[in-house]
Structure 1
Amino acid sequence: METFLKVESLRKSFKNTEVLKGISFEVKKGEIMAILGPNGAGKSTTIRNIMGIMYPDGGTIMFENQTDIPRNRIGYLPEERGLYKNVKVMDILLYLAELKDYPAKKAKERALTYLKKFGLEGKENSSVEELSKGMGQKVQFIASILHEPEFLILDEPFSGLDPVSQELFKQEIRDLAAKGTAILLSSHQMNLVEEMCDRLFLIHRGQKVIYGTMDNVKKEYANFKCTIRGTNKLADLQGLPEVQRVEQTDDTSILYLTKDVKVASWLRHLPEQLDINELSIDRISLHEIFIDIATDKNLLKEEVVSHA
């Protein structure tokens, strides 16, 4: 896939604090790329530099090998929602499309199509302040994609949405990527990121921590874990081979296994006396990887057995 955005050695400081410390990544056409990190990691600063809202102290931001920001080809859904509350929905959509030099007739046709798709049919003459929070978010999302952007930045797009609306957003984002749109998505909802994104870039304290395809990240960081529901003694679990650590709460024990464990062979080591009502084996989730890094636990790389 062709690269639309390329960020190289990006640096940004505020007073004496270096917020971005030479980060580099790229977003390809037709992919959904996640930019992740705990609060204060530098995500918003990165996005604002890409959008030209602020300027970096060092490094380069290239759009198809050009440094000029192609604003008419970019869609942006900011985390801080900001629609004019006393303006009619259709008026605000057409106004924002006009700012992107998008044809008014085509914009109105697409707006009506999207309003119907997102359950807002008949709301085109309502003012934004008459809409619920979820409806307002749908309108702002429509505004970000109405002009058919080639590059789309989505900052917390699922925040405040009910499950049905989340599904609508997810499908639309997938459809846009399938048509070739390069998408940079920032979200704290790790389950949705894991489900949707092709690649991810995780930063912490302004530095790259993880960067790669979702499959490679899972293979590298997401070791297997075994969850056993039943009342068992820690002593019966702590000496098992290829176990890095055990977490126990009431009737549940979670065994975190070493990276190269052969699951089928490892299961034979479970003692016959174990109380097993349920047993499942899966990989550590992206949520757990995120928490581990954000809290500096460094448990994912441990090679010794530990217990909690």
Structure 2
Amino acid sequence: MSVIGRVTGNLMVAAAGIAGVSVVAPAPAAAAAPSMPSLVAYVRSGDVYVSKGTAETRVTTGGGWARPRWSADGRSIALLRNGQLWTMKADGSGKRRLTTRAAAGPSWSADGSWIAFASLSCSGGPGVYRISATVAGAQPQVLFPSYCRDEDLPAEPAATAAATGSLSERLRYDDAVAWSPDGSRIAFRGGDCESIYDACLSVGTVATGGEKTVAAYGGGSRQNSGFAVVPCWRADGAKLAWTAYQKGETAADDQPVHVEEYDTATGAKRTVGASQDRELAYVDSTRAVVTGTYKSGSWVMVVNLSTGARTPFHQGSQPSVQPKP
């Protein structure tokens, strides 16, 4: 689990002259795609596209790309290719691999100097690392679990094949991370809470290494199972959303794949969007984009966070919203 600043329709046309970038016609059902205040990056058939409305620009080729994430200045994107961490400029140029260590869902620090990602930790479970976004040949540094910070880095694990099976099975072990807008915290799957629960989501404080559990399933007297994955912060840090699934003690307690929103001040939670919505990314305080099921496939949908109204944007998944300049 991101040198545009202000991108207009003219850039979409200009990008056609850049190697590895092609302008493609929108999917037919997306002809009335809503206009967005900034670019949305998303994945379709293993390549990354960006769009603000009806027109799309493909900014990768060759397939194998996943989990694009915008930098805070909107000029770069961090992303995965075949399970390894890369960056590129917002127009798809300047692609660079940062590390050969197997990685999951990247996220940028607020100042753009670091990228956080998940990979195997010294504990044998998922851990969170950061790596310089600007220094060539930089080595990853451990952030969580904090007791691994003084340990040698574990041997580089091989990149694993993409998960298969049902939607819930594909999402269950997604280790995408999310760095808070103020740079102080990172949300990630797992953590110290896994010593108590079967599955959990943590928010870790970068400076101290301390962790807080914000979602948990199974164990610790909880009579349920499930997961919370693919976290995303709202730009003001007041809300944190994630993709969740729950198998309850009874059928009435079951919750299919959905999006939960968490108030970071009060701890209150609510469900947003529709059943099968996942991978939320905030547009602003009133709207978000999610991956949803539409026309029997995965589409990026624009969701009104107050009314729940949903509008199809483009066919694809794993959306990320470019911060407004």
Alignment TM-score, normalising by the size of structure 2: 0.29
The two structures have a TM-score, normalised by structure 1, of 0.30
When Rg is computed on C-alpha atoms for both structures, the one with the higher figure is 1
Higher relative contact order (CA 8 A, sep 6+): 1
Determine which structure has the larger helix proportion and give its number. 1
